[in-house]
Amino acid sequence: MTGGARGSGPGGSGRGGSGRGGNAPRKTLAARIAPRLPTRAVAAAASFVYPRFEPELARLDDLCPPGCGTAVDVGGWYGPWSRRLAGKARRVVTVEPVPHLAALLAAATPANVRVIRAAAGDREGTARLWLPHGDRGDRGVSSLVRRDDVHATALDVPCLTLDGLGLRDVHFIKIDVDGNELPVLHGARTLLDRDRPALFVELEARIQPVAPVVDHLADRHGYRGWVLPSHTWVPLDAFDLEAHQRATSYVVTQGLLRRVLIPRPRYVNSVLFLPDGRRPGDRAVRDHGAHAR
| 289 Ramachandran zone, left/alpha/beta (phi>0; psi -120 to 50) | left
pLDDT tens per residue across span 158-206? 999 999 999 999 999 999 998 889 999 999 999 999 999 999 999 999 8
| Residue-level pLDDT at 132 | 85
> Could you tell me where the DSSP H helices lie in the chain?
29-33, 39-53, 60-63, 80-86, 99-108, 181-186, 189-195, 211-221, 241-248, 256-261
pLDDT grade, residue 38 (50/70/90)?
Answer: low
- Whether 22 is in a domain gets the answer no
Out of 57-66, 133-142, 239-248, which region has the weakest mean confidence (pLDDT)?
A: 133-142
Q: Total structural domains in the chain?
A: 1
| Residue-level pLDDT at 256 | 61
Q: Which residue has the higher pLDDT, 173 or 248?
A: 173
pLDDT grade, residue 16 (50/70/90)?
Answer: very low
What is the model's pTM?
A: 0.81
Considering the chain, what percentage of its residues have pLDDT values greater than 70? 74
Q: Where are the beta strands (DSSP E) in the chain?
A: 70-74, 91-95, 113-116, 119-120, 125-131, 153-160, 170-175, 198-202, 223-227, 234-235, 270-275
Single out the residue of 261, 277, 138, 118 nearest to residue 184, CA to CA: 118
pLDDT grade, residue 5 (50/70/90)?
Answer: very low
pLDDT tens per residue across span 109-124? 999 999 999 999 999 9
pLDDT grade, residue 258 (50/70/90)?
Answer: low
- Whether 54 is in a domain gets the answer yes
Taking residues 33-42, report their average pLDDT. Answer: 55
Taking residues 236-258, report their average pLDDT. Answer: 84
- Whether 3 is in a domain gets the answer no
Taking residues 248-271, report their average pLDDT. Answer: 74
- The domain that holds 151 is classified in CATH as 3.40.50.150
Residue 209 gets which letter from DSSP?
-
Q: Which residue has the higher pLDDT, 219 or 4?
A: 219
| Residue-level pLDDT at 254 | 63
Count other C-beta atoms under 10 Å from residue 212's C-beta. 13
What backbone phi and psi angles, to 5 degrees, belong to 194? -85, -50
Residue 231 gets which letter from DSSP?
S
| Residue-level pLDDT at 245 | 94
pLDDT at 46 over 70: no
Q: How far, CA to CA in Å, does 40 sit from each of 15, 46, 78, 158, 159?
A: 19, 10, 9, 24, 26
Out of 38-47, 83-92, 176-185, 274-283, which region has the weakest mean confidence (pLDDT)?
A: 38-47
- Whether 215 is in a domain gets the answer yes
Question: CA angle at residue 205 from 155 to 291, to 5 degrees?
Answer: 145
Q: CB within 8 A of 203, min separation 6: which ones?
A: 181, 210, 213, 214, 241, 269, 270, 271
Amino acid at 62: D
Out of 38-42, 138-142, 168-172, 219-223, which region has the weakest mean confidence (pLDDT)?
A: 38-42
Residue 21 gets which letter from DSSP?
S
- Whether 7 is in a domain gets the answer no
pLDDT grade, residue 257 (50/70/90)?
Answer: low
| Residue-level pLDDT at 143 | 82
- Whether 4 is in a domain gets the answer no
- Whether 190 is in a domain gets the answer yes
Q: Mean pLDDT for the chain?
A: 81
**Could you list the residue range(s) of the whole structural domain that residue 177 is in?**
29-275
Give yes or no for a contact between 17 and 252, defined as CB atoms under 8 angstroms apart: yes
- Whether 24 is in a domain gets the answer no
| Residue-level pLDDT at 30 | 47
